[in-house]
Structure 1
Amino acid sequence: MIDFRYHIVSLISVFLALAVGIALGAGPLKETIGDTLTGQVEQLRAEKDALRAELDTTSGDLKDAETYIDAAGPQLLDGTLTDRRVAVVALGKVDEATRTAIDDRLAQSGASVTAHVTLEETWSDPDARTFRQALVGQLLTYLDPVPAADAGVEGELASALVQSLVTADPTNPDALSDDASVLLQLLSSSESDSPLVTVADPVTVPADAIVVVGVPITPPTADATPSPEPSASVVAAQLAVVSAAQQLSSGAVLADGPRGKGSLVDAVLADQDLAAAVATVSGTELVTGQVNVPLALAARIAGTVGHYGFGDGETPIPEAVTLPPVDRTPRVPDGASGGTEG
């Protein structure tokens, strides 16, 4: 058993050590310790200032590069999509600034936007599947071509949406066919409590090609929580739209946000068959991605499937192509495509 004298000796040792430390700190070591700490603080401050200056320089260079690309955009895009009609389909709520920027780049390329359509939650909500199945029964009557037997509800809806935007009246290539108008009305009916799509303005002119705009996952910030990653069923429904857009029009491109978690471009590149058929552009929140959209669409219409951006499996910019004039001679569709070009 430890006696009381042991505790007394221990306490005395502690206080002696403390006293020695105070004496040394206030005496012979005072200036040495102070100088060392002061030097370390000054070094850290200098390093911080250098990093700040380097960051400012890099940010300035990046801003200059974006300004240059933005200014060069009209020259890069001029004549790329002359007289082409393009429908823009958003797979959900997208950033308005990005959508407007894509519209502007399409206009600079010589294209006109015939429709702005946004998919609502009902399009892929598991609780609304019965409603979608019942609606498909009505839609099939107006589809030509009819989707494959194994297309499923998602594929049939996607086909209906695309045909509603690209199918022209056989006798008037500047007007939607009657069947297309009915399809779009059924999909966006205001009489339904949960329409599958919303249409910004009345659609009267058929599109040649389609830009499908993905919905980027919102990253976590101090003011907002990240948006949830879409489920496999939602991704499948979105990819069905992308696939139908390419199959039933003269060309389509998926315009998506950053690569990474929840990226639809990543989902396309992970599917070998889809990657071989569908063109993609990532980073459309940036001016580089926005300029790439019309270039990629023109390349896809010309027959080149590319994936554009700065991530794995992508190239920075599409090769320039010259498309032939659009042929809008009235003719009876042969069922091979709903668009006006082969």
Structure 2
Amino acid sequence: MISFRYHLVSVIAVFLGIALGVAIGTSALNGAVVGDLRRQVSDLKKNDGALAAQNRVLQARSANADLLAQTFGTKIAGAALAKTPVVLLGAPGASKGLKDAIAAQVTAAGGTIAGRLQLSKDFSDPRRANDIRSLATSGLHPIGLQLPTTDDAGLLAGALLGFVLLGHGQSTDLAQVVAGFGTLNMIKAESSTVASGKLVLLIAPGALPAKDEAGKMLLSFGSQLGAGGPTVVVGDPASDTAGGLVALVRNDDTAEKAVSTVDDATSPLGQLTVVLTGADTIAGHKGHYGTGAGADGLLPGAGS
């Protein structure tokens, strides 16, 4: 007859066996896992070192390119914009330093700044869209202007401003339109005189939140500006990320065909690219240039 003690000893033995098996198995498994993790860490360190080296090479090349642009930029650009009046239009939040740098590069390439205007945050505020609709559809209507059939405030503003900034209509239309937007606290002249031009450089702000309503409005606005004549959207590398204006243009089928873009205008090479892109756009060629993922190449004529 099997005693209770025998049962107890048997059960204890079974559990001891299970515990021993788990311990042995866990040790073996831990050893394999630790070994695999060590190999992964080693591989990551090697990859990190390779990427760091590659980054140093790219930074050196970028510095050399900027030095080349600083030293020979004027000769490379030549008279790309000779006797070309250019309108500098800052989107809400555009950097003054960037606008100044672009203006200097335009002048160095033989162009003139016909006018320098800055849009306020009210311009792209969706709560002010009705004010733009009223101004465009009933407040002002230059002879010859055909507004798009839409209630999109960005498209209406782009059609109206593009018409007068690029020299269409009567000589007095530009002043009236600028004054009209001025009464809405949406536009401010930064130059003593504002005349129409043959090229509009729309200076983008940096990064914007994804799906930002102001960004969507500026996308419509920039696209419609391009429908009125040669337009280049100019920004820094951040403008080609997330909801940035350059990125929005490049990801929109209509806008990317309507305007050109430059995404590295904070660098000397990028500022040279703006001038070359502007001349190329006037000649009827659209392109997207810079160092961002959506660029066609570094500058016009250079492969990606």
Report TM bin, short chain.
0.7 to 0.9
Give the structure 2 partner of residue 248 of structure 1. 228
Q: What's the offset of the Cα at 1:239?
A: 1.6
Moved more, 131-140 or 158-167: 131-140
Q: In structure 1, what is the equivalent of residue 298 of structure 2? A: 316
Deviation at 1:214, TM superposition (A): 0.5
Change (3 A) 1:54 1:128: closer
* Alignment match, 2:88: 88
The 2-side partners of 1:62 and 1:275 are apart by: 26
Say yes or no: does 1:210 pair with 2:189: no
C-alpha separation in 2, matches of 1:166 and 1:150? 22
TM-superposed CA distance for 1:55, in Å, is 9.2
Identify the residue that residue 181 of structure 2 maps to in structure 1.
187
For normalisation by structure 2, the TM-score amounts to 0.73
Residues 151 and 144 of structure 1: is their aligned pair in 2 closer, same or farther, counting only changes over 3 Å? farther
Which residue of the partner structure matches residue 120 of structure 1? 120
Question: What TM-score do the two structures reach when normalised by structure 1?
Answer: 0.65
CA deviations 1:156-206 (Å, max 9, x no partner) are: 122222223233676xxxxxx1222211111113xxxx5111111243432
Q: Summarize the Cα distance change of 1:188–1:101 in structure 2 as closer, same or farther, 3 Å threshold.
A: same
Q: CA deviation at 1:132?
A: 2.9
Q: 2:265 aligns to what?
A: 284
> Is residue 86–residue 208 contact of structure 1 (8 Å, CA) maintained in 2?
yes
Q: Aligned residue for 2:133?
A: 133
TM-aligned CA distance change 1:292 to 1:260, over 3 Å = same
Distance in 1, matches of 2:138 and 2:193, equals 21
- What residue in structure 1 maps to residue 71 of structure 2? 71
* Aligned match of 2:31: none
Number of aligned positions between the proteins: 249
| Residues 131 and 58 of structure 1, relative CA distance in 2, 3 Å threshold | closer
What RMSD over aligned residues (CA atoms) do the two structures have, in Å? 2.8
For residue 123 of structure 1, give the secondary structure of its aligned residue in structure 2: coil
Once residues 92 and 230 of structure 1 are traced to their aligned partners in structure 2, the CA distance between those partners, rounded to angstroms, is: 16
- In the TM superposition, what is the alpha-carbon distance from 1:233 to its structure 2 partner? 2.5
Matched, 1:149 2:149: yes
Structure 2 residue aligned with 1:7: none
**Identical-pair percentage:** 19
What residue number does 2:213 align with? 233
Find out whether 1:160 has 2:139 as its counterpart. Answer: no
User: Aligned equivalents of 1:234 and 1:154: distance in 2?
Assistant: 10
Indicate if the aligned counterparts of 2:122 and 2:185 stay in contact, CA closer than 8 A.
yes
The SS at the match of 1:118 is strand
Amino acid at match of 1:156: L
Q: CA deviation at 1:53?
A: 12
The Cα shift of 1:246 comes to 1.6
Q: Deviations over 1:25-76 (max 9, x none)?
A: xxxxxxxxxxxxxxxxxxxxxxxxxxx9999998676544422221111011
Q: Secondary structure at the match of 2:214?
A: helix
Consecutive unaligned residues in structure 2, runs of 5 or more: 1-51
**Residue equivalent to 1:307:** 288
Deviation at 1:282?
Answer: 0.5
**Structure 2 Cα separation of the partners of residues 154 and 287 of structure 1:** 31
Aligned CA distance change for structure 1 residues 54 and 255 (closer, same or farther; 3 Å): closer
1: CA distance between counterparts of 2:286 and 2:56?
A: 38
Query: In the TM superposition, what is the alpha-carbon distance from 1:97 to its structure 2 partner?
Result: 2.0
Give the Cα separation in 2 of the matches to 1:65 and 1:154. Answer: 37
Shift of residue 140, structure 1, vs aligned partner: 4.2
In the alignment, the residues of structure 1 paired with residue 56 and residue 148 of structure 2 have an alpha-carbon distance, to the nearest angstrom, of 56
Q: Distance in 2 between matches of 1:138 and 1:202?
A: 28
Amino acid in the other structure paired with 1:179: D
Q: Distance in 2 between matches of 1:178 and 1:271?
A: 34
Residue 116 of structure 1 and its aligned partner are, at CA, apart by 1.1
